[in-house]
Chains A and B, each alone.
Chain A
Amino acid sequence: MQLAGGRVSCVSGDEPATPITKLIEDLKSVELETRRDAAYELARRASDAAPAIDALVVTLGDRDEQVWMQSAMAVARIGSEATAAIPALIENLGDRDDQKRYRAAWALSRIGPDSIEPLRQACTSDSSQRRAGALDALGWMTDVGQDQLDKLVETLTVALRDDDQRVRRQAALSLAKLTPASTAALALALDHGDADVRSIAVGGLAKLDEIPNNVNYRLSELCSDSEPPVRAAAVVAIVNSSLDHAQVMRKIEQALIDSDEAVRSAGVLALKKSGDSAAELLPKLVGMLRHDDSRSAAAFALGSMGSLAVPAIDDLIAAIKSQQDDETEIAEALRRIGPAVVPKLLRASADPEQSVQQLAEVIAMLGSEAVDGLIHAVKDDSMAVRLGAVVALNKMRPVPSSALQPLAATIDDASPEVREAGIIALGNFEKLDDDLRARLQSLCHDDRPAIRSAALSTLASVDGDKSSIASLLGTALDDDDALVRRRAIESFAKIGDAAQESIEKIAAAMSDEDVEVRRGAATTLGTMKDAARGSLAAVISLFTDDDASVRVAAATTVGSIAEAAPETASALATLLADDDTDVVLAALRSLNVMGAHASPSVEQVVGLVKHDAVEIRSAAIACLAKIEPDASKSVPLLIESLGDDDWTVRRDVASALGGLGSKAKSAVAVLFKMLDNEQDRDAVREALRAIDGADASAVPVLIEGLNSDDRRQRFYAIFLLGKVGPDAKDALPILTQMRDESESDRYKESYQKTIDSILGK
């Protein structure tokens, strides 16, 4: 807490100031830190630094960012006495670096009127970058006389006709900064052919305290512009205009149903900015809810109105029935309106055309705001309301602890649906008291399968004697009802090691007539790892199951419990020819886990390296790298796959090569070239770090990499050339030159280390 003092200051303010002459000398130093310190200090000295202007002009071109940045700041703070820096700053306006251009433009504006003419000349430069930079600088010139301001506006207006889009855009941005002097120019720019210019002009004019009438009319027209950014800017701008209110509301309404999301978003903002007037659009928005093509947009707008949209709640709930699966706006709108929606959503549960789950989902989205209402509703007279409330509480994350008792009471509800939902919701609590658990155990023998299955699932979820639960679940696997058997097999995963007590029952369930039970049994055995080894043969028998999802589960489970069991590898390999992609993938992943034990399957895996499906190519490559014991055979195949059209495959190949470590040295040449591609860069860097070396084939590309614009790429090149050793002797001349020219001690050290390594030192 800074309360006027108490700082952790590290530099004493009492030290005598370094003389300017010393700082000028320091600016010329070959030592980077010395130049940096001098530049920082001169920037701090403000106008006192004027005698250093010639030295600062030089350091405006320094290679180090901190040096030129602080030099530009020093020049700017010197201000009108720094005219000697104008040419160098204008040169910097054409730089590729945004930062350099911005600092230069700012410094030129601080120098003031003396830089206007040179800047106007720079606006005719051949370099579009420099033209844009000069226009940017002109936009900073807000403190000049009217005559000069007129000249600036004229120059900027001419630049709106530039061939280069960036230049036109910058001209518009600078004009927008010079309002109100540029009002007429901006008004003309509303008719510009470039949409970017039009939208910037709209934004500039919208900032005026009073928008001229003729401009208002044009802004209204631009609400129907062909380009979305212009329409978006215009609809917000007209809210504060003097246009007729009804006309403004019509334009907002139009924006709300625009085909472009950004315009709809702007329409909502305009609606919010119009305050209570937003309610005027309520009937129209409600009407729009009834049409497929405008429903989402209307819900979006209604949600943004908050409590103003309360009268539309019933219509929004009714609209849920017509919404498409991927439409989320109605639920979002109801959430945004707030807790007032809860009672109405619960009542709607009685409508047979409404999905209780869907309605409960919306209520749960309200979170803690809805809890009190729901707890109250659990005791409602209407079964539909009670059910909706229990399902909504179950969907909350976390389920509020205050709901435990009300939910426990639903076990005795007259409605079996409410009882079932209540039992399921109780599974969200970590602990239940003994009485409640005993009650749930008795419900495992209820007449209704839904109640039996819910009770089993909940008992497995909460704390308690897992051994007795395992026994209950095992018994339930013999239940006549498939739903009960499904919940039982799923629930084994929740009771940890205690499930092993029922391993024989689980293995037997792999012969169940129900697909879900068979799949669940195979999956559950997979979680038991070695303990399930005795059931391997039964799992493998599922490789010929009619259902693909069962085959996937079986293949995955074999991988989990048979890491070092070569006899299972040949069985898994048969699945590589399966028609179902997911089965093939599961088999590849399990073979991958087995590593060299799966080497007899190499040929089949190689056959999949060029498969049509991206995910299979990726998995096959990863598998090949793991199971082929001879890297000299797998690496060439992997290198070939680095040319895959899909970047996710290339990423996985790079990762697989990295996993091979130094055995993949021959891949470095190709990998290093891939650093040029942004998509591949991260994975390739990781692979290069893991391979931690290179062979002679990489030397030409690494030498090329020494000249890369990217600092990290240069670093990798230096590092890897050192790893090649004497075979990289061709790199010695350039490395020596770079070492001698480098200003960074760290880089000098790196170059020297690499040179020593190549020379065998």
Chain B
Amino acid sequence: MSIQTNRLSRRTVLRAAGISLALPWLESLAPRSGLANSTVPGAMAASVDAAATMPQRMAFIFVPNGVHLSDWTPRREGYGYDLPHILAPLAPVQEDVMVLSGLTHDKGRANGDGAGDHARSASVFLTGAQPRKTAGSNIRSGISVDQVAAKAAGHATKFASLELGCEPGRSAGNCDSGYSCAYSSNVSWSSEASPLGKETNPRFVFDRLFGDGNSGMRDKDSLRREALKKSVLDFISEDARSLHSRLAANDRRKLDEYLGGVREVERRIERTDDEPKVSIDVDYPIPKGTPDDYAEHIRLMCDMIVMAFQTDRTRIATFMFADAGSNRGYRHINVPDGHHDLSHHGGDAKKLAKISEINRFHVAQLAYLLKRLKSTSEGEGNLLDNSMICYGSAISDGNRHNNENLPILLAGRGGRSIDAGRHIRVAPETPMCNLFLSMLDRFGTPVDFIGDSTGRLPGLTI
């Protein structure tokens, strides 16, 4: 068992057999150099220093089947926009959320390739590239924005990126009118031909975030902990106590909160660790380690994104709340109908109301993630201040399958480089990839273009 402190990153890792518990940013462990030579006075110097050293994070959340746009789009533009029914759960974090109206994913359109809008909508979401219409192995899309960033900055963290989801989609076979399932099940592409499979089991994510060694060792250690009914914290408790004594009061509280949070997530995962279950809301057996409560599943994954960001295990994540064209039912919010079936609403008011509820449910989960990030302090601000969370769908209206005026949110302040809390309407047909270019700038990994971008997105700052 050992404690390894990386002085440069101000982050500590507590290690024991099979466990590698990274800790959050702790002021007490900060290097003392830097400020002494600064010409910037007092508090401002600390603030500038903190802002400069805090890493930026980015996450992309995909939701399928479009939204009911009239319950989504705020009436008012600019700062202090109104919150329509679907966005209402964002009220506590509205100051940190920018609503972007008018963005387009042109490559989600058929452009001569015929049907298959759902598969295209996922593959294009972060790539902006027209996927090759094939159900075979010769798939081709484009490198996704998260992977552009991961290639440039992924070396700084243990994991270059996290790819998460809630539905274990297939990676081969025909899923949508001649498009491979690889297109509809993944949003993250490390190259034109390589989608990155997502992890849907919270237990596996937890073990990889906090386990050590290779996957075989991790599995063995995890089983050992399970057999002993012990928490990962039991194995590092002595070192945690030792570290505790070296910290200032603020950091002690922060460490306690963090370790408490890890234990809480671990307990929630333990509660799900019984046999595989069958849910009538989805057409696949829910694997061991995965909650059958969909909201809990999403929230567990969100918690792990927060912990991974907080401990700098990774700075980049993608999360598919559901796969493209998902026909999951939402019985827990009194919408038992399949989401995809409902999305072909034909203007039916009852169906639209149900779609609104599904959309609102998804946004409520996003609000949970944002609140968690916001309540996690970092330096003089919080984790959300140093993050960019892009949420949305590459289909606007599920009935029309259109790819313009997409429902997109950008949360977080990107290290104070985004004037959040506004509703911006961009020019029609502005590529979604222009937003990605601007995000990559702020992440510190600028590129000249991505997908079908035509320039930076103006207006993220005034």
Say if the beta carbon of A98 comes within 8 Å of chain B. Answer: yes
Q: Can you report 22 A-B residue pairs in the complex whose CB atoms are below 8 A from each other?
A: A1-B159, A2-B160, A2-B188, A6-B196, A7-B197, A10-B137, A10-B193, A11-B193, A36-B132, A40-B192, A44-B192, A66-B130, A98-B429, A236-B462, A262-B78, A264-B78, A265-B422, A266-B462, A300-B80, A332-B80, A367-B92, A682-B400
B239 within 8 A of A: no
Residue A17 at the chain B interface, CB threshold 8 Å = no
- Chain B residues 74-130 with CB under 8 Å of chain A are 76-80, 82, 91-92, 94-95, 106, 111-112, 114, 130
Task: State whether A103 and B138 are in contact (beta carbons under 8 Å apart), knowing that A7-B194, A268-B80, A747-B112 are contacts in the complex.
Answer: no
Q: Is the CB–CB distance between B92 and A369 below 8 Å? A: yes
Task: Report if B376 contacts A (CB, 8 A).
Answer: no
The docked-state distance in angstroms from the alpha carbon of A264 to that of B171 is 50
CB contacts (< 8 Å) of A8 on chain B: these are 171, 182, 186, 194-197
How far, in Å, is A292 (CB) from chain B's closest CB?
19
Q: For residue B163, which residues in chain A have a CB less than 8 angstroms away from its CB? A: 1-2
- Say whether A98 contacts B186, CB under 8 Å: no
Binary B-proximity of A37-77 (CB < 8 A = 1, otherwise 0)? 00010001000000000000000000001100100000000
Interface string of A296-326 (1 = CB under 8 A from B): 0000100110100000000000000000000
- The yes or no answer to B266 lying at the interface (CB within 8 A) is no
Tell me whether A146 is interfacial, beta carbon within 8 Å: no
8 A Cβ contacts from B216-232 to A: none
Distance in angstroms from B366 CB to nearest chain A CB is 16
Tell me if A106 and B462 are in contact (CB < 8 A): no
Q: Could you tell me the distance in whole angstroms from the C-beta of B285 to the nearest C-beta in chain A?
A: 21
Q: Inside 8 A of B91's CB, which chain A residues have their CB?
A: 335, 365-367
**CA A233 to CA B106, docked complex, whole Å:** 30
Please give me the residue from chain B that is nearest to A270 by CB atom: B462
With A1-B163, A261-B76 as known contacts, state yes or no: A7 contacts B196, CB within 8 Å: yes
Partner of A1 from the list B78, B198, B422, B455 (CB cut-off 8 Å) is B198
B residues 267-315 with Cβ under 8 Å of A?
Answer: none
Bound-state CA distance A386–B77 (Å) is 37
Q: Is B164 an interface residue (CB 8 A)?
A: yes
Q: Does B139 contact A (CB under 8 A)?
A: yes
Q: Which A694-746 residues have C-beta < 8 A from chain B? A: 711, 744, 746
Stretch touching chain A among B2-10, B243-251, B322-330, B446-454: B446-454
User: For chain B, which range describes its interface: under 10, 10 to 19, 20 to 34, or 35 or more residues?
Assistant: 35 or more
**Which residues of B sit under 8 angstroms from A226, Cβ to Cβ?**
none
With an 8 A cutoff between CB atoms, is A328 at the interface? yes
Find B112's partner among A40, A99, A682, A746 (CB 8 Å cutoff). Answer: A746
Most chain A beta carbons < 10 A, residue from B77, B78, B188: B78
Q: List A343-398 residues whose CB lies under 8 Å from chain B.
A: 365-367, 369
| CB contact under 8 A between A269 and B419, given known A1-B204, A99-B452 | yes
How does the 8 Å CB contact mask read for A668-687 relative to B, with 1 for contact and 0 for none? Answer: 00000000000000100000
User: Is the C-beta of A3 less than 8 angstroms from some C-beta in chain B?
Assistant: yes
Any chain A CB within 8 A of the CB of B46? no
**Shortest distance in angstroms between A584's beta carbon and chain B's nearest beta carbon?**
22
- Residues 406-434 of chain B: 1 if any A CB is under 8 Å from the residue's CB, otherwise 0? 00000000000001011000000101000
Q: Is A9 part of the binding interface, using a Cβ–Cβ cutoff of 8 Å? A: yes
- In angstroms, Cα B112 to Cα A140, docked, is 33
Question: Roughly how many angstroms separate A306 CA and B79 CA in the complex, as a whole number?
Answer: 14
Interface residues of B in 382-420 (CB under 8 A from A): 400, 419
- Do B208 and A3 touch across chains, with their CB atoms under 8 A apart? yes
Residues facing A in B338-377 (CB within 8 A) are none
Please name all residues of chain B whose beta carbon is closer than 8 Å to the beta carbon of A268 when the two chains form the complex. Answer: 79-80
Which residues of B sit under 8 angstroms from A65, Cβ to Cβ? 111, 130
Query: Do A102 and B453 touch across chains, with their CB atoms under 8 A apart?
Result: yes
